[in-house]
Each structure stands twice: as structure tokens, then as C-alpha cells.
């Protein structure tokens, strides 16, 4: 198994791209979104192409990701690493980065940032924002859909070896993991850790603790974290 995050993702998805890889629940909205490995890989490729062809970025550049745990956040993180970018996650502003991805609430703070800035409404079904994007931002969903479903490469990921090492120290089991993002907000815990274990993910945000046991059973989760 590889030692970079993109190589881990490719190994897991390559086993059977049609199988569910990331199932997302938001108990605040009632959303359930299920992505196969192939579907998430398409979003990852589109994001990498957006960064490389749309923004002219590549190895040595930095993406600021100001987003909560979400399936679209997974696509952006994996896309940035695939394109060879470094990632700062959860920092208060995108200053000093070459591209920024922010939630609507983060984008509305008015903090300074790079020339290329994308906002995410995080709407169900991966829909674009209903209203206009904040000044200085473009709607990620609208923009990323213009790019190809396959990333021609070269696939990056150098510099993510430390993330893989941290993830492997978590010693997650394989199988299908139900992960409560309230308890595990760090992407190393809810995304890279399962990849390092060769596991698929059921990601629960704004979790209602009373629903987790039934969710684990319905999703055939083999472990709950």
C-alpha cells in the first residue's frame, strides 16, 4: 500500500469502484448522501483539474480549506493532494494560500485571501448555491462541474506522508467505519485514518447520539468511532 493519501485512496477505490465508499449523514438537516468510490473519484478528479487547469496551481502551492467535515470537503482535500498541493485545514483565514475553499459562513467573515476563492453552500445532492456567492468568491459546485471526470496526472501527494503516518498510528480496523465527526473533526481521523485502514466511511455530522446505534446497524458498519 502506498505512503501518500492519493495512493491510499486509489488502492481503496480500486478494489471495487462501484461499492459505497463514503456515506454522509447530517442530523441537523436530515441529509443522507451516498457516494461510490467511482463517484467520489470523479469529484476528486474534477477538483484536481480545477486547481491545475483552472487556477494554474501545482506542487509547491497551498490550498486553504475552511470547511467542516463533509463529503464535499473530502473531495476537495483529496483533489488538492492529488494535484500536488499542500493543505492548511481549519485556519481562520486563507491569507498566505494560493487558493481557498470556504463554507458560506467562513466566506462571509470578510477575511483577506488569495485571488482564487471558492465558496461551498454544502447543499444536499451537491447542488449549487441558491443565491449569489459572497464578493470575491465563486461557487465551487458551479465551477468544478466544468472540468473533466478524469485527472490525467501526474498524481501528486508528496508531502502527505506525515498524514499517512499519523493515520496509521490511529490503528483503525478495516471494514465499514461509522465515524461521528463531533468526536473526530480532524480529516486525519475521519478521512485519512479509514483510507490507511482500507475501510469505507459512514460520516455522521451534527450527530444525534440516539440515532447512531440504529445507523450503524442499517449501514452494516463493522465499527463505530
- 154: preceding bond cis by omega (within 30 degrees): yes
Using the predicted structure, report yes or no on whether residue 120 has a pLDDT greater than 80: yes
Please tell me the distance from the alpha carbon of residue 70 to that of residue 28, in angstroms, as a whole number: 13
Question: What CATH number does residue 72 fall under?
Answer: 3.40.50.12780
Selection from 123, 119, 66, 52 nearest residue 95 by Cα? 66
Beta bridge mates, 102: 66, 119
Question: What 3-state DSSP class applies to 220?
Answer: coil
**Which backbone phi and psi does 67 adopt, to 5 degrees?**
-135, 150
Using the predicted structure, report yes or no on whether residue 110 has a pLDDT greater than 80: no
Range of the domain at 22: 5-224
| pLDDT averaged over every residue in the chain | 95
Measured CA to CA in angstroms, residue 98 lies from 57, 101, 105, 218 at distances of 8, 11, 20, 42
- Evaluate whether 102 touches 119 at the Cβ level (below 8 Å): yes
Number of domains in the chain: 1
> Predicted confidence band at 184 (pLDDT cuts at 50, 70, 90)?
very high
Query: Average pLDDT in the 175-203 region?
Result: 98
Please tell me the distance from the alpha carbon of residue 193 to that of residue 214, in angstroms, as a whole number: 23
Amino acid at each position: 500500500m502506498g505512503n501518500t493519501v492519493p495512493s491510499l485512496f486509489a488502492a481503496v477505490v480500486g478494489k471495487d469502484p462501484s461499492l459505497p465508499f463514503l456515506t454522509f449523514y447530517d442530523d441537523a438537516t436530515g441529509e443522507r448522501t451516498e457516494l461510490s468510490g467511482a463517484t467520489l473519484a470523479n469529484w476528486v478528479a474534477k477538483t484536481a483539474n480545477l486547481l491545475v487547469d483552472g487556477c494554474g496551481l501545482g506542487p509547491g502551492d497551498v490550498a486553504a480549506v475552511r470547511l467542516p467535515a463533509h463529503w464535499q470537503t473530502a473531495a476537495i482535500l483529496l483533489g488538492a493532494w492529488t494535484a500536488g498541493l499542500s493543505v492548511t485545514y481549519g485556519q481562520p483565514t486563507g491569507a498566505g494560500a494560493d487558493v481557498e475553499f470556504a463554507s458560506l459562513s467562513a466566506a462571509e467573515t470578510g477575511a483577506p485571501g488569495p485571488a482564487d476563492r471558492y465558496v461551498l453552500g454544502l447543499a444536499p445532492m451537491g447542488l449549487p448555491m441558491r443565491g449569489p456567492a459572497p464578493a470575491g468568491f465563486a461557487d465551487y459546485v458551479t465551477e468544478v462541474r466544468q472540468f473533466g471526470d478524469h485527472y490525467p496526472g501526474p498524481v501528486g501527494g508528496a508531502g502527505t506522508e506525515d498524514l499517512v503516518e499519523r493515520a496509521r498510528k490511529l490503528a483503525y480496523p478495516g471494514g465499514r467505519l461509522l465515524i461521528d465527526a463531533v468526536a473526530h473533526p480532524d480529516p486525519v481521523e475521519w478521512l485519512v485514518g479509514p483510507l490507511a485502514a482500507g475501510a469505507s466511511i459512514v460520516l455522521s455530522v451534527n450527530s444525534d447520539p440516539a440515532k447512531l446505534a440504529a445507523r450503524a446497524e442499517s449501514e452494516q458498519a463493522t465499527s463505530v468511532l
